[in-house]
Amino acid sequence: KYKSYPYEHMQKIREQNISPSLRMYYKKPLLLHQGHMQWLFDYEGRRYLDLFAGIVTVSVGHCHPKVTVAAQKQLARLWHTTNIYMHPSIHEYAEKLTSFLPDPLKVVYLTNSGSEANDLAMFMARLYTRNFDIISLRGAYHGGSPYTLGLTSVGLYKHSVANGFGCSTTMLPDVFRGPWGGSHCRDSPVQTVRKCSCSEGWLFTNTFSNLQLTDCIMCVCHANDQYIEQFKDTLNTSVPKTIAGFIAEPIQGVNGAVQYPRNFLKEAYQLVRERGGICISDEVQTGFGRTGSHFWGFETHGVVPDIVTLAKGIGNGFPMAAVVTTKDIASSLAQNLHFNTFGGSPLACVVGAAVLDAIEEDGLQKNSEEVGTYMLLELAKLRDKFEVVGDVRGKGLMIGVEMVTDKDSRHPLPGEEINQIWEDCKDMGVLIGRGGLYSQTFRIKPPMCINKKDVDFTVEVLNTALQKHMERAAAK
C-alpha cells in the first residue's frame, strides 16, 4: 500500500527549505517511494527501469538484500567509533578492497564523498611531490568542493569565486567531438560511421567490424599523437617544469561517457611522471566492474596510477568513498595527523564489504561485460537507423548516446528536442541520465544487475521515443 503524499506540498517545501542549486530531472520530477535492484517505484505505484542508478551510484542494485542485511545487522550493534579505537570492520574492508587492486596500491583512506576523496588525492599529490600544479582534462567533473572545483571543467558547475589555484586543464581527447580521430581509436565494441574532418580524405575501411568507416587514414594513424601534442603543449605553456600530478577518469562520466584514443592515458602518464608528477585515476564512476572487461577503468588503459579515488558505487548508495595509494605516498601525510570523523565507520565498512561480495557472488563484472556489450550493439542499430543518434559509445555498462542534429555536422540536438525524447522515455518507464557540455548525451549507467530483457525493453522504448521525434520533426 502506498501512503499518498500531496505532490504540491512537497514542491512547496522544496521551494522554501531545500537548496535552490539542486536541479531536478524532468518537467514533473518523480516522487520516489521504493527501490528494488534495477527498479524504482514512485508514490503512485509506477515502476521505472533505472538506467542511471542514482547517478551511477547504485552498483549492485537498489536495496540489494545482501547489502541491506549487512547494514541492518551493523546498525543494531555499533555505528561509530570516531576513528580513535579499533574495530574489525575497517581492517577487514581495507584488506578486501586492496585485494582487488594491483601493487603498489595498498593503503586505504576512507572518506565520505567523491569530492572529499579527490580533495585528499590533490592534497597528497602536492605534499608528496612538493609541487603544486595539477592538470585535468576539459569536460571533467571531479567534484564540487572549492578545491576540486579547480579540476572540474564543466561550466554548469563553476561559480564566480576564486578557485583553481594551481589547476590547469588540457584538451579533451574526444574522438567524436574533437578534431581528430574516430571511434576505431577507442576501446568499445561499437564503431561509428562518420565523415573525416581532415582534408586528406583517404577513406579507411575497417577490417575488424563489418562497418565501413569513413575516417581518413591520416586520422586513423595520428589522432592520439595529435592529442598528446596538445598535452605536451599544456605541459610547456601552462605549468612549471615540475608538477604535482594529473587526474583523469578512464572514461569521462559527467561529460557523457567520453572515451580517449587508445594509448592516450599511457603516454600522458609517462609525460606526467617525467615532470615529477603523480597520476590519479578517478574511478568514482568507472570502478567496481562497471567497464566489464576489468574491475577498474585504469586497467582498460594498461596503466597503474599512483592514487585511485573511489566513491558512488563503492557503497551502492551509502555515503562513503575512498582514496587508495602507495605506502610511499601515504607516508607524506603521516608526518602530521589527518583525521576524518565519519570516514571508515563500521557501518560504511560492512556496507563496502557487502558490495564487494555482491559483485563477486552475483557475477556483476561479467554481467556488465555481457549485457553492456549487448546493449551497445543494440543501441548501435538505433544509431544506424536514426540521423539524430550521432554516436553510441562506451564499455560495459558505462554507455553514452550522443544526440545530434545530423551525423555530418554533429551539432548537438537542441535542448527542447532532446528533453522531449527523454521525457517520453520516462513516461514509458525508462529513466536515463543526461550529460555533455550541451546536455546532448544520454547516459546509460544502470545498476550492474540488469539483464538482456531490460536491454530489449530499453531499446524498444528509445526506438519509440525516437520515432515520435521523427514524426514531430516531419510535421514541423
Residue ranges binding ligand PMP (CB under 6 A):
55, 113-115, 118, 141-143, 249, 253-254, 282, 284-285, 311
How many CB atoms within 10 Å of residue 53? 31
Sign of CA dihedral 173, 178, 181, 186: positive
φ, ψ for residue 324, nearest 5 deg: -120, 130
Residue 315 and residue 302: Cα distance in Å, rounded? 26
**Beta carbon of residue 286, minimum distance to ligand PMP (angstroms, whole number):** 8
In the complex, minimum distance from the CB of residue 119 to ligand PMP, in angstroms, rounded to a whole number: 9
Identify which of residues 119 and 369 has a Cβ nearer to ligand PMP in the complex.
Answer: 119
Q: Smallest gap, in angstroms, from Cβ of residue 281 to ligand PMP? A: 10
Residue 453, judged by CB atoms within 10 A of its CB (0-12, 13-18, 19+), counts as exposed
Identity of the residue, 143 or 178, whose beta carbon is nearer to ligand PMP in the bound complex: 143
Q: Tell me how far, at minimum, the Cβ of 320 lies from ligand PMP, in Å.
A: 10
Closer CB to ligand PMP, 74 or 113, in the complex: 113
Q: Which is nearer to ligand PMP, 62 or 194 (CB)?
A: 62
Of the pair 180, 288, the CB lying nearest ligand PMP is at: 288
**Residue whose beta carbon is closest to ligand PMP:** 114
CB of 118 to ligand PMP, least distance (A): 6
Smallest separation, CB 403 to ligand PMP (Å): 21
Helix axes 415-427, 452-475, angle to 10 degrees: 130
Q: How far is the CB of 147 from ligand PMP (least distance, A)?
A: 11
- When the beta carbons of 145 and 420 are compared against ligand PMP, the nearer one is 145
244: left (phi over 0), alpha (psi -120 to 50) or beta: alpha
Compute the distance between CA of residue 5 and CA of residue 163 in angstroms, rounded to an integer. 41
- Give the number of other Cβ atoms within 10 Å of residue 466's Cβ: 20
Instruction: Give phi and psi for 403, each to the nearest 5.
Output: -100, 130
Query: Judged by CB, which is closer to ligand PMP: 60, or 247?
Result: 247
CB of 402 to ligand PMP, least distance (A): 18
Q: Which of 55, 459 has the CB closer to ligand PMP? A: 55
Residues ≥6 apart with Cβ < 8 Å to 451: 367, 371
How far apart, in whole angstroms, are the C-alpha atoms of residue 249 and residue 370? Answer: 22
Residue linked to cell 580521430: 181
The CA distance from 77 to 85, in Å, is 15
